[in-house]
Amino acid sequence: MGKKYVDAETAAAIDVALMRFTEHGWLLEQLMELAGLAVADVLDAEMLFIKGKEDAEEEERPRRRILFLCGPGNNGGDGLVAAKHLSLRGFDVDIWHPKLNIALGGALSGGCWKNEKLFTGLYYSCKAAGCRFLRDGQLDLLVDGDGEPDFEKPKLLEYRVVVDALFGFSFKGEPREPYKQVLIAVSRIRMVKTKDRTTVLSVDIPSGDDVNEGPTQYSIHPDALVSLTAPKKCVLQRARLFLKAHDAASSDLSHLAEIISSCRHYLGGRFISAKLVEQFKERADLKHWKDTFDQVKMRSPQYVDLGRVGDIVADDLDDGGNKE
């Protein structure tokens, strides 16, 4: 019973199995393209929640600006794919990807980045789609809505949406720079109380979370999360934290509870076959997520809307899912 939420080790093993040539035969490029496409589709749908998109009049265009924060691994690659698709759909897309900046500057050449060719290709397709890459130091991390918009050095709050594609299921330990300062800045966005503040969307894992243990002091608390293949344990830990914080007397904790529970949760990356379910049945309940996708077959091929993280808790408490 249980095991619906997968741990870091199982998520990595599923990834390896999917890409084993004679087993499931997926290529990383294929998985990443579909994962990134799901993120783009979710964001497009999310825009209906986010006021200001409806008519794309010229004066509204800054409201359609999206910033992608991309980390050094494949989570960052999902971000690049989603950025490309959204730019092709008419959004103004900026990308912060420090590892690509270093690679393109020549410092990472010589084969020390296994997927350099894939990422360099993504760089050029993002550029061709109209995305702008921010140079080092070009992003103003102050979470301060005042002052004139500065196209050359945009502030986080000038974006309508910030996409957190910093870290996925291989994140470990305390974040290193330059990512640490960015995590701290983005986590502050949720504290801004203005009506149309920047929306934060996380890819696969809210960055800063310990994949198995859940939120840490560096965690981003997104408005929306797109889990890929199957939600990870940190989502369940968030749900547990929500219940604990919800019952607490302190107003800070109840604010945190509200933030966690209101996060909208989606599932993308439809890669689960009956064979994969069978292969991993001792470690994970992938059948549950395969069925979840199967139920919505034709309506949204790229993703499923799972409701709010707070709602998932209630379901899981009912069926005892993942209780150790």
Of the candidate spans 44-52, 74-82, 106-114, 303-311, the one that interacts with ligand NAX by CB under 6 A turns out to be: 74-82
- The smaller minimum CB distance to ligand NAX, of residues 63 and 75, is found at 75
Of the candidate spans 40-48, 69-77, 138-146, 299-307, the one that interacts with ligand NAX by CB under 6 A turns out to be: 69-77
Residues of span 165-194 touching ligand NAX by CB under 6 A: 167-176, 179
DSSP sequence for 302-318: TEEEEEEHHHHHHHHHH
Of the candidate spans 133-141, 146-154, 200-208, 256-264, the one that interacts with ligand NAX by CB under 6 A turns out to be: 200-208
Q: Residues 203, 224, 235, 257: which binds ligand NAX (CB under 6 A)?
A: 203
| 75 binding ligand NAX? (CB under 6 A) | yes
Of the candidate spans 153-161, 190-198, 203-211, 315-323, the one that interacts with ligand NAX by CB under 6 A turns out to be: 203-211
324: three-class secondary structure by DSSP: coil
Within 13 A of 285's CA, how many CA atoms are on the CB side?
11
Residues of span 5-44 touching ligand NAX by CB under 6 A: 14-15, 18, 31-32, 35
Q: For 28, list phi and psi in degrees, rounded to 5.
A: -55, -40
Q: Residues 46, 78, 158, 285: which binds ligand NAX (CB under 6 A)?
A: 78
Rounded to the nearest 10 degrees, the angle between the axes of helix 251-261 and helix 233-247 is 140
Site map 128..167 versus ligand NAX, x via CB under 6 A:
---------------------------------------x
Number of C-beta neighbours around residue 102 at 10 A = 15
| 208 binding ligand NAX? (CB under 6 A) | no
Residue 64 and residue 91 in contact, taking contact as beta carbons nearer than 8 Å: yes
Long-range residue pairs from 194-199, CB within 8 A, at least 24 positions apart, any chain: 194/145, 196/50, 196/51, 196/52, 197/145, 197/157, 198/156, 198/157, 198/159, 198/160, 198/161, 198/162, 199/46, 199/49, 199/50, 199/160, 199/161, 199/162, 199/223, 199/224
- The smaller minimum CB distance to ligand NAX, of residues 11 and 157, is found at 11
If we measure between CA atoms, which residue out of 177, 250, 175, 160 comes closest to residue 206?
Answer: 175
Site map 261..290 versus ligand NAX, x via CB under 6 A:
--------x---------------------
| 222 binding ligand NAX? (CB under 6 A) | no
Ranges of beta strands (E only) in the chain are 65-70, 92-96, 132-133, 161-165, 199-203, 224-228, 264-268, 303-308
| 98 binding ligand NAX? (CB under 6 A) | no
By CB under 6 A, name the binding residues for ligand NAX: 14-15, 18, 31-32, 35, 71-75, 77-78, 167-176, 179, 203-205, 228-229, 269
